[in-house]
Amino acid sequence: MTMTTSAPALPRPRRAEPLHRRLADPLFAVITYGLIAVAILVIVYPLYFIVIASISDPTLVQQGKVFLFPRGLTVDGYATIFGTSTIVRGFANSVLYTVVGTAISVTMILCGAYALARKDMPGRSLFMILFVVTMFFDGGMIARYLVVKELGMLDTMWAVVLPGAVGVWNLIIARTFFEQSISPELREAAQLDGASDFRFFFSIVLPLSKSLITLMAMIHIVANWNAFFDAMIYLSDESKYPLQLVLRNVLIQSQASTAGMDMASMESTAQAQKMGELLKYSMIVVSTVPLLIAFPFLQRHFVKGATLGALKS
């Protein structure tokens, strides 16, 4: 008995891929990375310029001679900032308002959103409609001022942190997250184990919502740190001004100091004008650095939390 073995099949030669297909992916990569590089340049360079301008000679900055590297190095702007009690006090006030305002806003949004996410809450649809209506209709600045005045909050920290404590859009994002991520079965299992609603919220819901909490915290930290309008309206004591309002006043004063000058006073105010220009860049750096330092540590939770409240398709 003889056995015949078939010869192994030869591999089929691969057809040459068309030239346009071979060039498509590299071309796409080049265009994509090129656009990303341009976007990064457009975003990063203004920040970089502010930094180098804050340590450069203001005259050279005004003449356009500072482009890539600082020239005429000086730290007089930073020395003046940290040596001025008004700016230091404003910085401390901003830290206080940011910490207290963020804590209040995040607490109220989480509690309110969880309650609105519970399907067994009576009248939750009516409450949601009332919240949404405020996104389209507003009583106006005069009405808000009268409310703050009648509540006795004028010229206090609470006038800055309470009127805008709850953002309806953030409330909707948090409510959607709780509806999608916290299943009723999980709550029923906790109730069978004897957990109350408060125990379930603090022991189970909040630990599962770290990304949402980080997102809400970052949104309100940035908003409270950059806020100045409410302080300008409700505060009259300059010792309670936040940093942003102090910086605004310094900028206005530096611009007004050069108006209405005669030739005799021009030379005497030249140094003041140069210092005003230097202070503008230095104060931008000082007011921005805290956020730039905090964001990288929270970026992972921030990016993840930004997609948690999205509707499922």
Q: How many CA atoms lie within 13 A of 7 on its CB side?
A: 3
- pLDDT score for 312: 46
Predicted local distance difference test score (pLDDT) of residue 297: 67
Locate 164 and state its tokens: 């805008």
Residues in the chain: 313
Q: Do 54 and 72 meet the contact criterion of CB atoms below 8 Å apart?
A: no
CB 127 within 8 A of CB 118: no
DSSP class of 165: S
The answer to whether residues 216 and 307 touch, using CB atoms and an 8 Å cutoff, is no
Boundaries of every domain in the chain: 88-255
Give me the long-range contacts of 143-148 (CB less than 8 A, separation at least 24).
145/233, 145/234, 148/234
- The pLDDT, as a whole number, for residue 313 is 37
Nearest one of 172, 197, 178, 174 to 187, comparing CA atoms: 197
Residue 26 is predicted with a pLDDT of 73
Asked whether the beta carbons of 230 and 159 are under 8 A apart, the reply is: yes
- Cα dihedral 275, 225, 94, 236 in deg (nearest 10): 80
CA atoms of 55 and 250, how far apart (whole Å): 18
Separation CA 213–CA 309 (nearest Å) = 12
Sequence letter at residue 82: F
Alpha helix positions (H), the chain: 19-53, 58-62, 76-83, 85-117, 124-133, 141-150, 158-161, 168-181, 184-192, 197-200, 210-226, 229-234, 243-256, 263-306
pLDDT tens series, the chain, 313 aa: 455 555 555 555 555 555 555 555 677 778 888 888 888 888 888 888 888 888 888 878 877 787 888 888 888 778 877 777 788 888 889 999 999 999 999 999 999 999 998 888 888 889 888 888 888 887 788 888 899 899 988 989 999 999 888 888 889 989 988 888 888 888 888 888 888 888 888 888 888 888 888 888 888 888 888 888 888 899 888 888 998 888 777 767 655 554 544 444 545 566 667 777 777 788 888 888 777 777 776 666 655 555 554 444 3
Fold classification of 88-255 is: MetI-like fold (1.10.3720)
**CB under 8 Å, gap of 24 or more: what pairs does 70-75 form?**
74/278
Cβ atoms of 212 and 308 within 8 Å: the answer is: yes
Residues contacting residue 115 through CB under 8 Å, at least 6 positions apart: 121, 124
pLDDT of residue 261: 47
Phi-psi label, residue 260: left if phi above 0, alpha if psi -120 to 50, beta otherwise:
left
182-231 residue pLDDT tens: 888 888 888 888 888 888 888 888 888 888 888 888 888 888 888 888 88
**Please, what is the Cα angle at 309 between 208 and 188, to 5 degrees?**
45
pLDDT of residue 108: 93
What's the angle, vertex CA 8, arms to CA 5 and CA 13, rounded to 5?
Answer: 160
